[in-house]
Amino acid sequence: MLDLRPITDIHADLLVVGGGAAGMAAAVTAARRGLKVILLERYGFCGGGAVAGLSGTVCGLFEAHQSDTAPPKRLVFGFVDEFIERMNAKNGLTPPVRYGKTFTLVHDPLVWRGVADDLLRDAGVHVVYHTMVTDVLMDGDERIAGVVAYNKQGKLRVTAEVTIDASGDGDLAAMSGLDTFMGVDGVVQNPTMMFRIQGVDVQRFLARYGEDSVLGADVSEAIRQSNTSGSYVLPRAKIFLFPTPRPNELLCNCTRIIGRDGRVLNPVFAADFTEAEIEGRKQVQEYARFFRDQLTGCENAFVNDTGVQVGVRQTRQVRGLATLKNQDVVTGTKSRSGIARSAWPIEMHSGEKPRLEWLFNDYYEIPYECFVPVKGESLLTTGRCLSAESDAMASARVTAQCFSYGHAIGHAASIAIQERIAPRRVDPLAVRAAVNRDGAQLD
């Protein structure tokens, strides 16, 4: 093994690994509090699963209601408000789009990239794109002192007082040997290849199928019959199609990717990730062909884009001082140490038909301790690798909540650094107060 290029050394107050909604919000929040912040991102843009995975929606902003005629009612505020304002200024978001018993916003991923760049630049965050973390630096047995990363320039050694694992996959925790877990007995939710189609007569499409992005039983039955007859290979019958901010375009959440051997693929394993990408691209073409042949308004549709990678719902999670329970989600549990709230349904994508379990006219709160590892000093997590049971994770992982998590954890890291205390000693009430000062409206 040989690499003769010199190692570049950088020190910061705070290191954030991963530029998804949570990582970007954490980095911007901490930088605005006066910290020197470095953000490392493996792609050439921020957005994580929302952009690279093309999830395409800002889910989790609104309450759920049993009535199909109830208007959208916002539940989540704070950092996400500024993001929405900037996206709207560039025509990068739709108005609320109905999704079953709630609503979501559909975004333009190219606009997202630019808005994230602007937010990070304006806050003074030092961003390093196209950089992959390869090692964790330890100070003793438990303190995470920073990371070693790699890019085309060579190796980069970054040290910091506090590090935030916003990788989405608990990468730093796993590298450090901290306690992580995956799904139920290691089985996670399957990945999905998201895609967009253009050339759609969206008005005719909506007139025929309605405003709900969760398409109805007639479409599901047509998919099942076409799959059974062998005319198409369409393993998932219940599909979600969303109008986007762009003209004549639909965002498509349709594919169901499982292994050739029938297993649920886990993107944390290289062979599974590779198989998912290949199978996902095949399914995209099959669903697009079905849409052209069978759906009103899609007669001239073509695939405009797919995710840079398959959309990942669940991989590693980091065992925290607290764990969000399945029961907390379905009963709307509130917490004294809650630093974010959610009313998004438990959304399970195993089998041909996704399962949605709703919490109506209510919400639950996610405690700060879900982001503090049981072991490991100077490390916080944020984003979908929070400590949560599997069903709870299927609700708590979505985009609006990730903005809230990053907002809160950025404040928590700042408090820890400025007060010279360990993140586990940060008072959750101080974090809650900080996000409320920024408009989170948790109280």
What is residue 189's predicted lDDT score, i.e. its pLDDT? 87
pLDDT in tens, the chain (443 residues): 789 999 999 999 999 999 999 999 999 999 999 999 999 999 999 999 999 999 999 999 999 999 989 999 999 999 999 999 999 999 999 999 999 999 999 999 999 999 999 999 999 999 999 999 999 999 988 899 999 999 999 999 999 999 999 999 999 999 999 999 998 888 888 899 999 999 999 999 999 999 999 999 999 999 999 999 999 999 999 999 999 999 999 999 999 999 999 999 999 999 999 999 999 999 999 999 999 999 999 999 999 999 999 999 999 999 999 999 999 999 999 999 999 999 999 987 665 556 788 999 999 999 999 999 999 999 999 999 999 999 999 999 999 999 999 999 999 999 999 999 999 999 999 999 999 999 999 99
The per-residue pLDDT for 352 is 56
- Report residue 187 as tokens: 């089985």
Strand 249-253 relative to strand 195-198, pairing: antiparallel
- Report whether 153 contacts 3 (CB < 8 A): no
Per-residue CA distances from 95 to 103, 314, 428 (Å): 9, 28, 34
CA distance 407 to 398: 14
Question: What is the pLDDT, as a whole number, of residue 355?
Answer: 75
How confident is the model at residue 141, as a pLDDT? 83
Q: Which amino acid is at 82?
A: E
Per-residue pLDDT at 347 = 87
Can you give the pLDDT at residue 437? 98
Is-above-0.85 flag for pTM?
Answer: yes
Amino acid at 393: M
Q: 209-230: string of b/e by CB count within 10 Å (b at 16+)?
A: beebbbbeeebbebbeebbeee
List where CATH 3.50.50.60 sits in the chain.
8-65+111-186+314-437
* Cβ pair 276, 265 in contact under 8 A: yes
* CATH code, residues 8-65+111-186+314-437: 3.50.50.60
Are 73 and 62 contacting, i.e. CB atoms less than 8 angstroms apart?
yes
- SS3 helix, strand, coil % of the chain, rounded to 5? 35, 25, 40
H-helix or E-strand containing 393?
Answer: helix 390-396
By CB neighbour count within 10 A (0-12 exposed, 13-18 middle, 19+ buried), where does 281 fall? middle
